[in-house]
Homo-oligomer: A and B are copies of this chain.
Amino acid sequence: MKITALILAGGKGERFWPRSRKNCPKQFLSLTGDGRTMIQKTVERILPLVKPEDIFISTNQNYKKLVLEQLSDIPEENILCEPVGRNTAPGIGLGAVYMRKKYEDAVMLVLPSDHLIKDEDTFRAVLSEAIETAEEEGSLVTMGITPTAPETGYGYIRFLREDARKNAYKVERFVEKPDLAKAKEYLADGGFLWNSGMFVWKVSTILDCIERHLPKIYSNLAAIEAAIGSADEEKVLNAEFDTMPSESIDYGVLEKEDSIRVLPGDFGWDDVGSWLALGRMRSLDSDGNLLSGNTVTTGVSDCIIEGGKKLIAAVGVKDLVIVDTDDAILICNKENTADIKKIVENLRNGNGGQYL
């Protein structure tokens, strides 16, 4: 069966301010030092499994130009722009109806555009088994990540070892982001995986699920599907999204379905949730620093410094993230990266619109 992919690239990615901006969120940034952006790396990672013309991008008009520039091998008609964000169920459903129209049926990978994976061979091996499972069993397959720490920032998946198809286990239940005590329990238990937000299923399977669990969304999608290729396509898309309910694929479909499979993955996954990810992804110097660009330091340790045009001179500092851009520079304690959102909010609510 044809293998396709839907890359989710509509996120705002404010946690990487001041590099990420309203018009250039995280997925379009190069953060790994190799000059490739997150979305380019996402696509390149699956090219051994999926042809460029079978890759679809779910985004919106604000980012269409960036997608075209950064992913020149992907046909323009595969760039699907949601008129308005309605969470993941409508976005994934939209990809699915475009695929049904083009291929009748296919195996569909659903992948975020802003994650990193160190061990790509292992990733593709797990993905291949997910594809086989989704195709042969007709099940919804999620990619789980073997936890390495009691993370409180991720959702967890409880799986049943006794119900397995090779390495694909039956999901017992999805668990919301836990507090630290619960997270420690889950880690010790061994029966929990992180929810990565990567899915594999047949187009027919997911649309069938949406039809059963989210009938209003399904009818909106069916109306759009009928208009694909017609002169009315854009008008219908706008009108249907206007009345489309907002719903996540996790809550609206996965948590309501009974037979979902999860494949445990151990391939150096990182959701790149904050500037601290750079320190995990790249090698540090002997003082624990990650320095790039125009910097001069003395007595500096455990810092991440991304220099720009201006010389950054750091003296006697520790555990800071310093990021220079043309019009703004961030100086953030490593423990407080979550508060970068507060800065973005302050700028939005004040007179800082030019920095968003």
On whether A296 and B332 interact (CB within 8 A), knowing A313-B18, A313-B343, A339-B315, the answer reads: no
Contacts of A336 in B (CB 8 A): 298-299, 315-316
**Are B327 and A331 within 8 A (Cβ)?**
no
Is A328 positioned at the interface, with any CB of B under 8 Å from its CB?
A: yes
Contacts of A299 in B (CB 8 A): 333, 336, 339
- A218 shortest CB reach to chain B, Å: 43
One digit per residue, 1 when the CB lies within 8 angstroms of any chain B CB and 0 when it does not, for chain A 41-55 equals 000000000000000
| CB < 8 Å neighbour of A311 from B312, B316, B328, B333 | B328
Is A320 positioned at the interface, with any CB of B under 8 Å from its CB?
A: yes
| CB < 8 Å neighbour of A296 from B313, B317, B322, B346 | B346
Q: A298-B342, A310-B326, A316-B339 are in contact. List 11 more A-B contacts (CB 8 A).
A: A298-B336, A299-B333, A299-B336, A310-B328, A313-B329, A313-B331, A313-B343, A315-B333, A315-B343, A316-B332, A317-B332
On whether A324 and B329 interact (CB within 8 A), knowing A339-B315, A340-B315, A352-B311, the answer reads: yes
One digit per residue, 1 when the CB lies within 8 angstroms of any chain B CB and 0 when it does not, for chain A 329-356 equals 1111101110110110011001010010
What are 16 pairs between A and B in contact, CB < 8 Å?
A296-B347, A296-B350, A298-B336, A298-B342, A298-B343, A299-B339, A310-B328, A313-B343, A315-B333, A315-B337, A315-B340, A315-B343, A316-B335, A316-B339, A317-B320, A324-B329
Contacts of A335 in B (CB 8 A): 316
Is A160 positioned at the interface, with any CB of B under 8 Å from its CB?
A: no
Is A3 positioned at the interface, with any CB of B under 8 Å from its CB?
A: no
Near B by CB (< 8 A), chain A positions 288-306 give 296, 298-299
Is A314 positioned at the interface, with any CB of B under 8 Å from its CB?
A: yes
On whether A312 and B333 interact (CB within 8 A), knowing A296-B343, A343-B296, A352-B296, the answer reads: no
Number of residues on chain A facing chain B (CB within 8 A): 37
Contacts of A328 in B (CB 8 A): 310-313
Contacts of A331 in B (CB 8 A): 312-315, 317, 320, 322, 331
Per the bound structure, the CA–CA distance linking A140 and B68 in Å amounts to 79
Per the bound structure, the CA–CA distance linking A335 and B299 in Å amounts to 11
Contacts of A18 in B (CB 8 A): 311, 313
Near B by CB (< 8 A), chain A positions 169-192 give none
Per the bound structure, the CA–CA distance linking A333 and B315 in Å amounts to 6
Contacts of A355 in B (CB 8 A): 311
Per the bound structure, the CA–CA distance linking A311 and B333 in Å amounts to 17
**Are B313 and A333 within 8 A (Cβ)?**
no
Contacts of A17 in B (CB 8 A): 313
Contacts of A343 in B (CB 8 A): 296, 298, 313, 315
Chain B CB within 10 A, most for which of A310, A317, A336 = A310
**Are A327 and B314 within 8 A (Cβ)?**
no
**Are A329 and B312 within 8 A (Cβ)?**
yes
Per the bound structure, the CA–CA distance linking A117 and B328 in Å amounts to 35
Per the bound structure, the CA–CA distance linking A96 and B315 in Å amounts to 42
Contacts of A327 in B (CB 8 A): 310-311
